[in-house]
Amino acid sequence: MPEERAVVAWCKIPALNSSPCASDDPQPLWKNKSSSLSLSLTRSGTPCKFACVSVAERKLDKEFFPTSAQLLQHPLAMVALVPKDAALFLAGAIAGAAAKTVTAPLDRIKILMQTHGVRAGQESAKKAINFIEAVTVIGKEEGIRGYWKGNLPQVIRVIPYSAVQLFAYEIYKKLFRRKDGELSVVGRLAAGACAGMTSTFVTYPLDVLRLRLAVEPGYRTMSQVALGMLREEGLASFYHGLGPSLIGIAPYIAVNFCVFDLLKKSLPEKYQKRTETSLITAVLSASLATLTCYPLDTVRRQMQLKGTPYKTVLDALSGIMAREGVIGLYRGFIPNALKTLPNSSIRLTTYDFIKRAIAASEKEFQTITEENRQKQN
């Protein structure tokens, strides 16, 4: 989100009346001005003029707004008619949906590798499935469409998820700022963690639906999955694994956002606004966060499954390590890591492009408005 900036403007006022600054004048001119900070240039017993500094929001006169003909000649300016918050929300939604759709096959392979041991049954739980085998199984059993199975609920989920996370992060950053207005490293970590948990809690049922649709046979649509869960397992089944999800997403978003911000701030200013800088920084921060928090994601996936033998996070951790060792916590890490680069690149590139288009449209809209104002004057 862009930071708010103050604008200082000044002008010469030839017809300004003198304000008597002598002590016998009970109501000098500047005292009649409201909402102003007035600085009087005083000389003992002599009148003087005053300087007035006012803070006000500049409002555009609608009578000078671009006409329909002007908007048709400058179509980019039409974007400025959309409220900025709504435009940024839409930009984040489009970017997230595009990234999820392109990387959906890798996500499906990762989930299959993470949950194969539990789905195969306790007797064969030690049998793992590698990347090539997962690709082969999906293609052989479900065809090309199988790689995008469960993508629709994920795309639907990413729209509110991105919006909630974006606005929550901005709110939490304001709450965690110090008295001097600065945001410390701990404050950034806390803001990211709280934003991640807030967005996860709101959209968690859709994540459970996506997993069930992706790995459990017999289901064709989201409505079938939801009705089956309500009928057989109750409403609480939509929040199975929420605990490890919150524990996993909190450090992930905290590390991701904090590292991204700090890396960009450490660079020279001329590089901070370049798109390729954002892409590289996002890949590095996401990779570090994924490496740190991936084991909790594996625990969450296995706890979400129907008939899972795990009841708590510690139970799942000990069970996975007893069967497969530490490497079992990182099953599916390679496709997940491969997904991190294109996912971050597509999301940030799309979002940055739309955000630049929004800024350009506002500039063009203001330019046309100012031209209309000058013509009228």
Neighbours of 351 (CB within 10 A): 21
Is 308 within 8 Å of 341 (Cβ atoms)?
no
User: Could you tell me which of 317, 327, 323, 330 has the C-alpha nearest to residue 126?
Assistant: 323
Query: Within 103-150, where are the H helices?
Result: 104-120, 131-142
Residue 189: per-residue pLDDT: 92
Q: Cα–Cα distance between 4 and 300 in angstroms, integer?
A: 40
User: Could you tell me which of 89, 2, 63, 76 has the C-alpha nearest to residue 365?
Assistant: 76
User: Could you tell me which of 376, 334, 362, 357 has the C-alpha nearest to residue 94?
Assistant: 357
Across the strands, what pairs with 40?
Answer: 50
Nearest-10 Cα torsion for 196, 198, 202, 206: 20
Q: Cα–Cα distance between 347 and 93 in angstroms, integer?
A: 9
Across the strands, what pairs with 19?
Answer: 48
Across the strands, what pairs with 53?
Answer: 37
Residue 41: per-residue pLDDT: 44
Residue 6: per-residue pLDDT: 57
**Cα angle value 212/162/227 (rounded, 5°):** 25
User: Could you tell me which of 225, 226, 245 has the C-alpha nearest to residue 304?
Assistant: 245
Per DSSP (E only), the strands in the chain are: 37-40, 50-53
**Cα angle value 155/158/160 (rounded, 5°):** 125
Q: Cα–Cα distance between 240 and 204 in angstroms, integer?
A: 9
Q: What is the residue-level pLDDT of the chain in tens, covering all 377 positions? A: 445 555 565 555 555 554 444 444 444 444 444 434 444 444 444 444 445 555 444 455 677 788 888 888 888 888 888 887 778 777 777 888 888 888 888 888 877 877 765 555 544 444 667 788 888 888 888 888 888 887 887 787 787 787 777 777 778 988 999 888 888 999 999 998 998 899 889 888 888 887 787 776 666 677 888 888 888 888 888 888 788 788 778 888 898 888 888 888 888 878 877 778 877 888 888 888 888 888 888 887 788 777 778 878 888 888 888 888 888 888 888 877 777 767 777 776 777 778 778 888 988 888 888 888 888 77
Token pair listed for 65: 């707004």
